Every structure is written in structure tokens, then in C-alpha cells.
Chains A and B, each alone.
Chain A
Amino acid sequence: MNSDHEIKMWTPNTVILFVLMTVGLVAIFYRLANGLGAATNLNNTYPWGLWLGFDVLGGVAMAAGGFTIAAAIYLFNWKKYKPIGRPAILTAFLGYLLAIVALFLDIGHPFRLWHPSIMWQVHSVMWVVAIHVILYTTTLAIESSPMLFEKFNMKKALKVVNGIMIGAVVFGVMLSTLHQASLGAVFLIAPSKMSPLWFTNFMPYMFLVSAIAMGLAMVSAEAMFSAKAFGHKIDKEIYFGLARGLFTTLLVYLVLKLFFLISNSSLATPFNGSVESNMYLLEMFIGVILPVCLLASRKIRTNMNNILTVNWLVIVGVLVNRMNICIFSMQEYSTAKGASYFPSAIELLVTLGIFAMGIFLFKMAAKHLPLFSEA
């Protein structure tokens, strides 16, 4: 199979991506040369900021479409989703690669990123998370590899990979489910710092449910984007199915959120005007309540423009949720310590560069690999 010549390499958007990537790369070198203090606004009270909250937690949540769709196609045998299988898994792979780049930059000793793989600490959630990242990224690479093997006509390798595909998917779904949950478990250690608006012993499962919502929204939005940018049209029933799944997931999430709000805090807390409460309202309104309302009616649920709106709302809402948990949930504790945090220019530029890189790599895969073939 040859490159898809329909997709042009140089478009104005690609030029913007290149500029963002170049600036991001310069920012990355600045961070590596000068350290975290010089490059970021992080401090002892806000040890985790934009890179952890947005790039890593958000990026991994954005990758959740990979395991959701892989499970739908291979484990539940819902064959109609096959056309979006490869893009979904590739997005997950890219999401994890970019989260690893962000982690590499965020830790104080980037070149010790491999330490957890030999210094086992089974009682540390961070270690559990690190091992998941390593194994799941490898699994995603295997799940994505048929595209390369088809492209270079490597029949033997293709046969081997297709032979272990079901096993890889079962393994990958297990890893990813646990990885999403484990990211929530990271924060179980901080009940005396976090606001009860977010802290619950169920955080791992809240992370999992919201990641599934994010994954479905991402896959749907990405398919629409591919349809527009690369002229790759898919059956509308796929979007409707994803929207139905999104609706159900968000309903479950909403019920859980309300349950924990009432049991850990009160229905009035979100309206007390504090920064945390406003951020909580923002996250709930954008990411959950508005999308649920929009999806409730069948008429709206089957309108492509509305689905796109809902997808964006959910993506942004879950990203805000991750930022809230990582940063704003500890606002009261941190403010009492007299600290403040707003991401530095370097933090923002690196984040933009990383996301630009993700989009660029996806485009290159669409151009050069059989991304949209069903195999």
C-alpha cells in the first residue's frame, strides 16, 4: 500500500503544528539545561502542576478510547466499530508516548525514568502506574504494528501479530482499565489536603468511568476530524452508537458524582463561591450536566453537529477534572501555606508542543500508513 496522496503534507495547519513543535522543543531544551525551578512555576506547595495534571493525567485519559474501542471490537465483538479501531488504538499509543515525554520532563531526574522498572516498590501506586505505562505502551505498539507490517508487506510478522492480537487486546484492556483507575488511586494518599468535593475512596473508579467517557468522546471527535481533514467517511451509525455509549457512561458518572457529593460534603458546597467550588461547578457543567442534557433527546443525539459539540464538552470537562484533582483540589491547603501557582510560559509552550506533536504524528500515520483500512 502506498502513501495516501490525497492528504497534503504542507497545509497551513501543519505549518502551525511545526511552529508549535519547534518552540516546544526549544522550551524542552531550556528545561533540561536549567532545571525545574527555572522552567516552571512549581513550588513546594504545588509540586505538581500543568505537566502532571494536563499532559500526563489528561493525556492518559484522552488515550482511553484505545481500550474502550478495542474491547468493543475484540471482546464484545461489536464489529460495526472496526473502522475506527486502528485510529483509536493509534491515538492511545500516541497519547501514552506523549504522556511519557511529559513525565520525562516533569521528574527531577529525567534520565532516571527507568528506575521503577528495577527498583520494585509494590506498596507505591506510582510504581504500579509506572509498570502499567511500560507494559501498556508496549501492548499498544503491538496492537498498532499490523499497520507497519502491511505497509512494508511483511506477511510473516503480520501473521504472528494477528495470531496474538486477541491475547494482546485482553491483556491491554486489563492493563488500561487498571492504569486509569490507578491514576485516581495516586491521590488516595492525600485526604487531609484535598477538598471533599473530589476526595473519595472511590477515586480510582471515578477516574475509570470518566476516562471511558473521555475515550468515547475522543474517538468520535477524532473520526469526525479525520472525515473532514482526510476525507475518510464512516457510517453515521458509529457516531450514534458512540453517543449512546457516552450518554450511558455520563449518566453513571453523574449519579456517582452526586452520590459522593452528598455523602462526603453537601449539595450546597459547590455553591459557596470558593475557587474549588467554582472549578467543581465548571467541570460538572461542561463535562457532565450539559452533555447529559444534550444527549438525552434522541433528536439531538442523532445530529452530527450536536454530537461534535458534546464530544468537545466532554473532552474539555474531563481535562478540567484532571487539573482540578491535581491542582485545585488542594487549593485550600496550599493557600493556607501562602503559595500560589500559575503555569509558566515554558510549561505552556511545552504542553502545546507535545499536543502539536501528537496531532502531527496522527496525521503522518493517516498519510503513510493504512490507518483507515479495517483489516
Chain B
Amino acid sequence: MAINRRDFLKVSAGSGLLLASNTSPAVAAPKPLPPEAVGILYDATLCIGCKSCMVNCKKFNSMPGGALYREGGDIPYEHITPEEIYDAPTELSDKTLNIIKAYKSESADGSDADMERYSYIKNHCLHCIDPACASVCPVGALIKDPNDGVVSYDQDKCIGCRYCQIACPFGIPKFEWQETSPKIVKCQLCHHRYKEGNYSACCEYCPTGASIFGKVADLREEAKRRLTLSPGSKYEFPVQTVDSGNRQFKEVGNYLEQIYGMTEAGGTQYLFMSGVPFDKLGFNPNITDQAYPDLTWGYIKKVPVLIVALLIAGAASHVITRRDNLSDSK
């Protein structure tokens, strides 16, 4: 027999490495927007930090169909003690889908002179065009609507493995740790309100137009238009929705040349504009333009080939080495 056991092992190990070597995920062309993709444009230069969006987010999402709805329709406040009920979240949680945070520049030496020193930032699910959370969910509890692109959650499928929490680069999904029958909680862009012709409560109740709702294509156009305006000039900012007749005539802020969400994590349906760099506003600077699901798909798509290769290699090895052994014993 020409092939001995050692050579065979070398060959099989070599072909394994060949298969393995092709793991670096090629940055594939980004996925296109869903046809009717809706989203939010948040302009930090317009935000006054009134938190009306937070209050109304909680109110409307506690109604049937909302992401915070629980039996009885009680609003889930952060703190309920026998003495008092109050709601002062400092971070997204299983009771808070949307949060406004304040940023203040700490530098004393004036190194921040060329940028805004104060900013608010609104944080909630970004509704990625290619969402990591939906791709990793083993039961399809998180799904992206093929039409409007909203990433929503089915609590009856969820097994509570929390892989979505590991996967989401923005740290958005939260888990109901205190429940014996827990859910994953995250913004679903007020999906439950579209049927009656309504839209995201945070935008409907934003008094300044800092958060506006609309088709992502229109929001992108609006954001790009704002970047062409010169700081200090006047512009009619739409309020509530990107195409609303309700407009406010205001001074244009000092924008960074970046629309966060155009390309980040493969693009998101929630876009941000600001005068302060986004890593200072709490965005993880390690987030790349990579569509995250491609990272695991690069491995999974090889699994069928690996299954066949391993079955053949295993069976062949058994046959060859058995023959080897037989001839040895002669």
C-alpha cells in the first residue's frame, strides 16, 4: 500500500488547514435598505434634553403591542418602593427603551476649542440594516421586517439565551433578569403604532425636531443637506417627521462631517448628527463598517463542506488504516 498512515494524516490535516485558512470575512457589499425602510434622524445640535421622548416612549410602549407592555398595562418605572415611584434611568434597561444622556467636555487646556463642549445623545436600538442580534438568534425571536426594516421581537419563541446581548455591537438588547419568565427588551420603533397611522412616539413628542421619523432614504437626504449648510445660517428644520409641514426656523449648528449610521455596522436605520465626536458620546470606537452577521456566516457557510469532508476523511481513514494494520500483522 503506497499511502501509509502518517502520510494520510498529513494529507487530511493539510486539507483541513486549507479549508480553515479562508476564514477572514471579506467585507461584502453592504445589504441594501429594505424597500420601505423607516427610521429616525437624531440631531444632537437640536436636542434640548427635555426627555419628552423618554416619557412618551415609556407611555406608548406600555400599551398593548408595545415593547414594554405587560399584563395590566402598567408603566414599568425604574424604581417602585413603598414610599415612592420615580423614574430616573441612567442606562437602557428592561424598563427603558430610550434614553437621553448629557455630555460635557472635561478638557481644561482648551484642546476642545474647535468643537461643541456640550451635547445630548439619544440612545436606543439602531435597527441595523443587517442586524447582528437577528442573525445570531437561534430561534428567530428577533426578526427584521423585510419591508420596513424594523427589528422586532417575538417573546413566545425566545429561549432567553442572551446571545443577542453578546452580539449587538451597540449593547442595546436588555434582559428581564428579575422575571421568572423573562423577555428581551429593546426599541421596536413603535411598530405597534403604524397601523393607526402613527409613528415612533419619541419623534411625535419631540418639541424641537431633534428626533424626526421617516423613510430612511429621506432621512439620509435630509442629513446630507444639513451638512451642506454653513454653521450659523438659518434653516427650516422639520419637526416630528421628515416630510411634515411643521417646521421650525432655526440657526444651523456646528456639525461634524459625519452622519453616524450611514455605514457603521453595515449601516443603520437610525441616523445621528452631532457637533461632538461620537466616541465621546458613548459609541464604542471599535465598531467598524463591517456588517456583523458576515463574521459568523463566513464560518457557517463552510459547515456543509466540512461535514462532507470530515465524513469522507473519517471513513477513508478507517478503511486505509485497517488495511495497513492487516498487512502489518501478516
Q: A: which residues have CB within 8 A of B? A: 33-38, 42-45, 47-48, 71, 74-77, 79, 106-109, 112-113, 115-116, 119, 121-130, 166, 169-171, 173-174, 177-178, 181-182, 185-193, 201-202, 204-205, 333, 337
Query: Which single member of A43, A126, A127, A171 contacts B311 (CB below 8 Å)?
Result: A171
Looking at the assembled complex, report how far the CB atom of B310 sits from the nearest CB atom of chain A, in whole angstroms: 4
| Pair A74/B318 contact, Cβ less than 8 Å | yes
| Pair B314/A191 contact, Cβ less than 8 Å | no
Interface-central residue, B174, B315, B318, by most chain A CB under 10 Å: B318
The interface size of chain B toward A, counting residues with CB under 8 Å, comes to 63
Minimal Cβ-Cβ distance residue in B for A196: B286
| Pair A76/B321 contact, Cβ less than 8 Å | yes
Looking at the assembled complex, report how far the CB atom of B27 sits from the nearest CB atom of chain A, in whole angstroms: 12
| Pair B182/A108 contact, Cβ less than 8 Å | yes
Looking at the assembled complex, report how far the CB atom of A300 sits from the nearest CB atom of chain B, in whole angstroms: 25
| Pair A170/B314 contact, Cβ less than 8 Å | yes
Minimal Cβ-Cβ distance residue in B for A191: B295
* Chain B residues whose CB sits within 8 angstroms of the CB of A113 once the complex forms: 159
| Pair B314/A173 contact, Cβ less than 8 Å | yes
| Pair B25/A115 contact, Cβ less than 8 Å | no
Given contacts A35-B180, A124-B136, A126-B138, contact A189 B175 (CB under 8 A): no
| Pair B23/A201 contact, Cβ less than 8 Å | yes
The SS class assigned to the A binding surface is helix
Question: Can you list 29 residue pairs at the A/B interface with Cβ under 8 Å?
Answer: A33-B180, A44-B171, A44-B175, A75-B321, A108-B159, A108-B162, A109-B159, A109-B181, A109-B182, A119-B140, A121-B138, A124-B138, A125-B136, A125-B296, A126-B161, A127-B138, A174-B310, A182-B299, A186-B166, A186-B296, A187-B166, A189-B136, A190-B167, A191-B286, A192-B286, A193-B166, A204-B23, A205-B20, A205-B23
Kindly list 11 other residue pairs between chains A and B, CB separation below 8 angstroms, not including A44-B171, A124-B138, A193-B286. A34-B180, A48-B166, A75-B321, A109-B160, A113-B159, A126-B163, A170-B315, A170-B318, A177-B306, A186-B163, A337-B91
Given contacts A48-B166, A108-B158, A171-B311, contact A122 B292 (CB under 8 A): no
* Chain B residues whose CB sits within 8 angstroms of the CB of A71 once the complex forms: 314
| Pair B9/A76 contact, Cβ less than 8 Å | yes
Given contacts A44-B165, A76-B321, contact A174 B314 (CB under 8 A): yes
Given contacts A109-B160, A124-B138, A128-B300, contact A75 B293 (CB under 8 A): no
In this assembly, does B147 line the interface, its C-beta being within 8 Å of a C-beta of chain A? Answer: no
Query: Which single member of B162, B177, B287, B297 contacts A37 (CB below 8 Å)?
Result: B177
| Pair A193/B162 contact, Cβ less than 8 Å | no
| Pair B160/A108 contact, Cβ less than 8 Å | yes
| Pair A77/B322 contact, Cβ less than 8 Å | yes
Given contacts A35-B179, A108-B158, A109-B181, contact A192 B140 (CB under 8 A): no
* Chain B residues whose CB sits within 8 angstroms of the CB of A201 once the complex forms: 23-25, 295, 298
Minimal Cβ-Cβ distance residue in B for A33: B180
| Pair A77/B325 contact, Cβ less than 8 Å | yes
Looking at the assembled complex, report how far the CB atom of A351 sits from the nearest CB atom of chain B, in whole angstroms: 18
In this assembly, does B137 line the interface, its C-beta being within 8 Å of a C-beta of chain A? Answer: yes
| Pair B178/A47 contact, Cβ less than 8 Å | no
| Pair A178/B165 contact, Cβ less than 8 Å | no
**In the bound complex, CA of A79 to CA of B5 (Å):** 14
* Chain A residues whose CB sits within 8 angstroms of the CB of B234 once the complex forms: none
* Chain A residues whose CB sits within 8 angstroms of the CB of B157 once the complex forms: 115, 119
Looking at the assembled complex, report how far the CB atom of A10 sits from the nearest CB atom of chain B, in whole angstroms: 38
* Chain A residues whose CB sits within 8 angstroms of the CB of B138 once the complex forms: 115-116, 119, 121, 124, 126-127, 129-130
* Chain A residues whose CB sits within 8 angstroms of the CB of B258 once the complex forms: none
Looking at the assembled complex, report how far the CB atom of A51 sits from the nearest CB atom of chain B, in whole angstroms: 11
Minimal Cβ-Cβ distance residue in B for A190: B166
Query: Which single member of A75, A109, A177 contacts B317 (CB below 8 Å)?
Result: A75
